Amino acid sequence: MQSKEKVVVAETTAKSSGSSDHGAAELAATPLNYTLKLDLRLIPILGCTYTILFLDRTNIANARIEGFEKSLHMPLNGYNTALWIFYVPFVLVEIPSNMIMSMPRVRPNIFLGCNMLILGVAAMCQGLTASYGGLLALRFLMGIFEATLPAGAALLMAEYYTRAQAALRFAMFFTFGVLGPCISGLLAFGIRNMDGVQGKEGWRWIFILEGILTIAVSFLVFILVPDFPERTKVLTASEKEHLLKTLREDKGDQKLDIKSVNWLKTICDYRILFPTLMFFCCDMTAASMSSFIPTILTELGWKRARAQAMSIPIWITGMVFQIAAAFISGRTGWRFPFILFGILCVLVGWIINIAYSEGRGISAAVRYFSLFCMSAGTFIQMTMTTSWLTNNLRGRPSIAVGTAIILGIGNCANFVASNVFIKKEAPLYPTAFRTGLGITVAGAVFCLVYVGLLWKHNQKLDKKRTEFGGEDDQKEFRYQY
C-alpha cells in the first residue's frame, strides 16, 4: 500500500513538472523563497480559524459582564454550564473530523469553509436567543462545527513544513488565537455602546456582530485555503517538486492513506499522549484566562468599560513571548526547555493569586501582573507542545490523529476551568487557583517524563546504529527534544 502511495505522489509531481530532465533543471533553479509564499498563504487564513475559536471562548465572558445572565434568567451555575457544554462535542468530533479531512477526495478549503459558515450562523444566533435553553443548544451546536477548525488547520500546517520550520509557524498560528481575546475585548469595548440599538441589549450585539465576522471569514477560507502539498496549486511545478523533496528528506516517504492504520496503537502512542497531557495542563490556564479575565478585572475594582480594554495588553504579551520563544527554538532545535520556562511563568501567576485568596494583602497591581505571567507562559507552552508532537510523528494518519487529540482532548481542561471558578467563592476563587497550580505542576512532571522517554529511545537507537548502522526512515528515527 505504501509503495503505491509513493508512486501516486511521484506520478503527480512528474505530470506537473513535465519531463524528468526538464523537471530536474527546474528544480536546480528553484528559488527557496517559496516558503514565504506558503507563509503568506497558509498562516493568516488558517490562523483566522484559531482566532474564531478564542473569539467564541472569550465573547461569552465579555457578554457576561454586560449582563446577559440576568437578561436570560440564568441559574446560579448557568454561566459555567454554558462554558462546558460547548466542549462536549468539541472533544468528541476532532479525531473523526481530521480523519475525514485526510480522505483523498476531501478538499480542505471546502471542508473547513462549510464548517466555519455554519459555525458563524450559530454564533450569530446566540445574540437572538430569548432563553437560557436556546443558548445551551446553540453552544452545543457550535462545539460540533468549531471542533473541525483548529485541528484541521494544524494538520494542514504540519504537512507543509519541516521540523525546523514548524515551531515558528505554529507560534504564528497560535498568535492568531491570542488575537481572539484582543479582538473580543476591543469589540466588546465598542459594541457595548450599541445597547438599545434596534431594541437589543449590548451583549446581544457582541454575539451578532462577531457571528457575522465568522461568516465573512468562512468565504475567505473557501477561496484561500490550499490543498495538501502533493495536490497544491499554490506553488509552481518546480517549487512543488522541491517542497515534496525537502519534506521527504526531513520526514521520509510519509504514509498518506488512512486505511490499514493500527488506530489503537496510534491513539495509545506515548508521543501523542504525553504532549496531549502537557497541552491539557497549560490549557487549564488558557481556559481560565479566556473565560474569567473580564470578570476578574471588574472584581479588581475597574468598571466594565475599563476592564474590557485592560484585558488587551495581557493577550498581546502572550503573542510576543510565544513568537520569541518559537524563533529561538527553531534556531536551537530544542523544545522542552522553553516549555519548562513557560510552566515557571504560569506558576508565578497562580502562586500570586493563591496568596491573594489566602488574604495576604496582594494589591490589584500585583494580581494584574500575575495575568501577564500566565499569558506569557501559557502560549509558549501551547506552541512548543504542538510543534513537539508533530516533530516526532511520521505519516499523515499519525499527524492527523495527533493534532486532533492534542487540540481535542487537550481542550478538556475547559471542563475543569469552567467548573472550578465557583461564583459564590468570588472574588477569592481559592478552589480555582489551587486547582490551576496543581495541574500546572503536573504539566512539568509530564514534560520531564516525556523527555526521559525520548532520550532513552535515542540512546538505544544510537547504540544499535553503532553496531549495525542505519539511517532515519518512516519507522525508525531519532526523536527531537
Query: Is residue 69 one of the residues assigned to a domain?
Result: yes
Query: Is residue 217 one of the residues assigned to a domain?
Result: yes
pLDDT band at residue 469 under the 50/70/90 scheme: confident
Query: Is residue 280 one of the residues assigned to a domain?
Result: yes
User: Which tens digits make up the pLDDT trace of 368-414?
Assistant: 999 999 999 999 999 999 999 999 998 888 888 899 899 888 878 87
Are 276 and 151 a contacting pair, CB within 8 Å? no
Query: Is residue 25 one of the residues assigned to a domain?
Result: no
Inform me whether the pLDDT recorded for 99 exceeds 90. no
Query: Is residue 3 one of the residues assigned to a domain?
Result: no
> What letter does residue 424 receive in the DSSP assignment?
G
pTM of the model: 0.80
User: Which tens digits make up the pLDDT trace of 343-368?
Assistant: 999 999 999 999 988 888 888 889 89
Q: Which CATH number goes with the domain that contains 448?
A: 1.20.1250.20
> For the chain, what is the domain count?
1
Mean pLDDT of all residues in the chain? Answer: 85
Q: Does 44 sit behind a cis peptide bond, omega within 30 degrees of 0 on the bond before it? A: no
What is the predicted pLDDT for the residue at 30?
A: 46
Look up the domain containing 438 and give its range.
37-238+266-459
Q: Identify the top-confidence range among 2-6, 22-26, 53-57, 101-105.
A: 101-105
Query: Is residue 150 one of the residues assigned to a domain?
Result: yes
DSSP three-state, residue 233: coil
Query: Is residue 246 one of the residues assigned to a domain?
Result: no
Are 228 and 159 a contacting pair, CB within 8 Å? yes
The answer to which of 47-51, 104-108, 304-308 has the lowest mean pLDDT is 304-308
Residue 39's alpha-carbon distances to 172, 235, 331, in angstroms, are 10, 12, 18
User: Which tens digits make up the pLDDT trace of 118-128?
Assistant: 999 999 999 99
Listed as own residue / partner, the contacts of 70-79 with beta carbons closer than 8 Å and 24 or more positions apart are: 71/201, 71/203, 72/129, 72/131, 72/132, 72/135, 73/132, 74/132, 75/132, 76/423, 76/424, 77/423, 78/132, 79/423
Give the CA angle between residues 137, 141, 145 to the nearest 5°: 170
AA letter at 375: S
Query: Is residue 21 one of the residues assigned to a domain?
Result: no
Question: Burial code of 450-475, b = ≥16 C-beta within 10 A, e = fewer?
Answer: bbeebeebeeebeeeeeeeeeeeeee
Cα separation, 146 vs 86, whole angstroms: 9
